Every structure is written in C-alpha cells, then in structure tokens.
Chains A and B, each alone.
Chain A
C-alpha cells in the first residue's frame, strides 16, 4: 500500500543550495524567500513539504506545545529483510538522520488560545508510513483527547501502511479508527487535515473520517496508486485526478486552506464547538 515515494521539492544542490526549483511551475526561487513563504511557491502557490515540527510551530501559540508519547519508536517484530537489508537498520538510520522517533509527532497546545491535541505526520520518516508505533501514538493521542475532552486534529502525510511490519501495519488502520470511533461517541471534535501526500492505508483509515476533512492546495490524496489504476483500466488518467481540488469537487473534503491561513482557519472552526 505504501507505493508513494517521491520527494516533493527538488533542490538545486549544485548552485550552493541558494535556489529552490518549484516542482510545479519550475521557477527558481531564492531559498530564503521560499522558506519565509512557508515552503510555498510565491509564484504559483505550490505547497512544498515542511517537517512536523515546522508545522507545529506554525500552528500553536508560543510556548504552549507539549509533546506527548515520544517514547514510542518502531520494532522489527517480523525480522523483515529485503534486498537492501533489514527493517531495523532502516528505521535506526532514519531515527538518526531525522531526530524523529516515529512517523508522527503527538502533543497538545493552544491554537489562538484554544486547547487541542494534535498528531502531525512526518513524511521524512519512512515515507510517513503507518507502522505499529505510528498507530500507537495516534491512538494514544486520541485517548488523551477522549479523557480530557479536547478536540483532536491529525495532519496526515503518508504513503500508506508500512509493509515491513506486514499484517501488523494493516491492523493499525482498525486500531486508529477504533480510537476515532470513541471520540465520535463522546461528541469530541475530530478534524483531519490531509497533507501532500495522503495515500493507501492512511487515506483509507483515520485521514478520511474527520468530522471535517481539510486539505492544502494541490495535495495528492488517493487510495490506489495512479500507475496501478492506469494498468487496471488501460488508459491515462486526468491530470487533476486524486488532487485535493478533485476530492473537493467530488465531495470528500470540506475545504482547501492555504498553509499561511491554516492556524486561523482551525481556531475559527474550533470556536464554533463552544467548549
């Protein structure tokens, strides 16, 4: 299910890392300008990737975010080996490289004064794939929201289930949704924000069952991969297929919100819940 593995921005390394080439309009943007604009192209509004902590900093009021459950990390319980080596070596290298312990960061804080629990996925960690540790953190954060009557927001960015954990990764879909189901029963708000990309087993579980499903412009949101579908039906698919704009038009997301507006959008929506 984790078929998506493409970096979202192409850095022009040769030119001293000064420039960023926009993946959509191909214009060259000063790196500093790109970053000041929250990794969004000032020319065409293409939303490049940002890390989980960058997003947390954009979202929460200063000094309010407290991380929770970051003592959880992957385990190679299947002793999974492919051509490139063991899963264990792979995630240990990823932990070292990214400083993350799993593909999601969880915690609580205040958004324009409104308290909320969040889970923010990070695509740098094994393509944001949903493993047992990822699912556990997302469930524990849901349980925290349940116990404390706080709204829950998940930012998804994932290629899908983590193949190296086999059936256990598939079961994380049921596990996380069981957490969401309890929030529904208790009328606790759950907002899903689908970031580029949200595909496979993550789109087919918690990401698609928000009371509100929100996205950023141009995000890829899909169940099956484009190539798989093209092979199945034997024809080319339209360019905008599986983009957030396509899903908005087909009724699966509520709104597309620019990154710079996301914080105010969310706090405004949460203010209606009168909690």
Chain B
C-alpha cells in the first residue's frame, strides 16, 4: 500500500522513455508474439485459404475467414516464425509477389460479400530476391496500394511487430491503422538507412532515432490512429494481455467503421491518405515554361 502511494506521487516518471533503438530491439525480440500466437489466442474458426491463382502459395503471407470476438472478418497477415525451420518455411515473414497477390485476391473476395478486412503487419520487408523481381514485386505491391484505396469494406491494419517499408504498406492501406506501443514502422530499416546516409550500419541507433519509426512518432505525425499499449516490458512478457488488447481495439474500431456508408468509407479513406505528409506551400506562381 505504502509503496503504491509513493508510485502515484511520482506520477509518470517511474520509467525513463525507451530510445528508438531499444524499441527496435523489442519489436524484434525472439519471443515477441507473432500472427500465429494471435490466431490461437483471439481468433476462432480460422479458415485459411491458399494461393494467388497465378504462381504459388506464399507461406510468408497467410489469410482466410476468421472470427474475432464473434465478429466475422477476412484476416490477412505476414506470417513470421519463431523456430528456425518455421522461419525458413515462412521466409521470415518476407512475402513475394505471390503473397501480395493472394492478399489482394482475399480482399476482393471479402469485398464481394461485405466482410470487413483485418490485416496484421509484421515483416522486415518484401522479399528482395531474384524470383521476386522476376515475378513483379513492385507491380504486386503497387497494385495492392491502388486497389486497397477503393475496396468497399472497412479495413483495419494492426502493426504488431516490424512494419518494414513497402512490404508492410502492401497490406497496410487501412481505414484505421493501429500499432502496438513497441512496434516499429519505417520507410527503411535503421541498418539500411545507416549504411546509406551514415556510410556504416553501426550507426543504426542514430538512424532509428532520426527516422521517427516508433508508435508515438507515427501518432504524432498523423500516420496511425491508435497505440495499443503493451504490458510490462513488452508484448513478449504477457501474450494473453496483449492479445486481449488487440482484440478489444480491433472490435472497437470496426464498430466505428461499420457505421459509415460505402461512399463515406471510400471518401474518408481517400481524405486520410491525401492528407499524409508535410510540405511547404509558397506563394502561388504558375508559369509558362516551354516556348
């Protein structure tokens, strides 16, 4: 009792804020809950569907019908592993074009039957390999970004671990973007950024800080809608607690979106993404150039 009083007196100063680099480490913690954990903790009746109908079934990206707290959804997400053999089979959650095309096929299916879509983001990035390039990694992601802009059912995206660049965004064009408090979401990995702009990957902690990749950064820049607070030292310390929080937040936001008409939904999604980014606007000076 006495101790508790002391804590409240100290207000919020009990823990120093984590650095961006510390958060990167937590987001990549080997015990961090992955999609498969959420599937067993908060998803009932998962009916997985396979294949993109063009080339293969990408195990780095999975999807299917699912029930979350009685709500029927189309669940799609990056499928990382924990054990080495799982990660080899699932390519460390790095999807190929086939994965993005499967995701789009399932989203289009959900749209036809008015089933809301929940996407779970957790990937170091889209797979950078020869066959991925050959089969059109760029086209597959680009197509998803374009199609997701006009899918006529609510889309909720949850960043549960690593939001790795275009590979994350490829299933991330949601009406609501939710993010775990120790998840990251970035245009490039801190290591990649450091090796380009600092000429050495060892400056990754500096790059992590500069890139503004934490949940609170993203909320401040108007990119995400809500932070889902992780228990204790991070999501890996209490699977049940974080899964329950994710479930609650998804259901709450779905209720909000379900109230919108299709026109309102598409218009507000367009306005949401139209408003992303910050730039300078000078005095208007349209001018004639070619003679």
Contacts and interface: CB of A to CB of B under 8 A. Distances in A.
A161 B278 CA distance: 14
A181 B149 contact: yes
Given A81-B210, A82-B210, A168-B276, A204 B166 contact: yes
A75 B279 contact: yes
A132 B138 contact: no
Leading 10 A-B pairs by shortest Cβ distance: A132-B277, A224-B128, A133-B279, A181-B149, A177-B145, A203-B138, A171-B276, A223-B138, A77-B278, A82-B197
A71 B277 contact: no
Nearest to A242: B133
B153 interface: no
Contact of A67 (B138, B173, B276, B289): B289
Chain B residues touching A, range: 35 or more
Interface stretch (B21-29, B42-50, B114-122, B215-223): B215-223
Contacts of B279: 72-75, 102, 131-133, 136
A83 B290 contact: no
Given A171-B273, A177-B142, A233 B283 contact: no
B281 A72 contact: yes
A213 to B, nearest CB: 9
A51 to B, nearest CB: 11
A229 B126 contact: no
Contacts of B132: 223-224
Interface in A77-91: 77-78, 80-84
B150 interface: yes
A78 B133 contact: no
Contacts, number: 248
A172 B277 contact: yes
Contacts of A185: 150
Given A70-B287, A83-B199, A171 B223 contact: yes
A65 B280 contact: no
Interface in A36-92: 53, 56-57, 60, 62-68, 70-75, 77-78, 80-84
B186 A167 contact: yes
Contacts of B146: 177-178, 180-181, 184, 209
Given A65-B289, A67-B288, A168-B278, A178 B128 contact: no
Interface residues of A, number: 83
A34 interface: no
B277 A66 contact: no
Contacts of A139: 274
A56 B137 contact: no
A182 B146 CA distance: 9
A2 interface: yes
B282 A73 contact: yes
A28 interface: no
A217 interface: no
Given A77-B278, A131-B279, A223-B138, A71 B169 contact: no
A228 interface: yes
A100 to B, nearest CB: 12
B198 A229 contact: no
Nearest to B145: A177
A207 interface: yes
Interface string B151-176: 00000000000000110011011000
Contacts of B170: 204
B108 to A, nearest CB: 14
A250 to B, nearest CB: 6
A181 B289 CA distance: 29
B241 interface: no
Contact of A109 (B188, B198, B286, B290): B290
A242 B129 CA distance: 12
8 contacts: A60-B290, A62-B290, A71-B285, A161-B165, A173-B145, A178-B270, A208-B139, A209-B139
A172 B278 CA distance: 10
A167 B129 contact: no
B3 interface: no
A206 interface: yes
Nearest to A170: B187
A18 interface: no
A162 B267 CA distance: 27
A229 B126 CA distance: 12
A223 B281 contact: no
B161 to A, nearest CB: 16
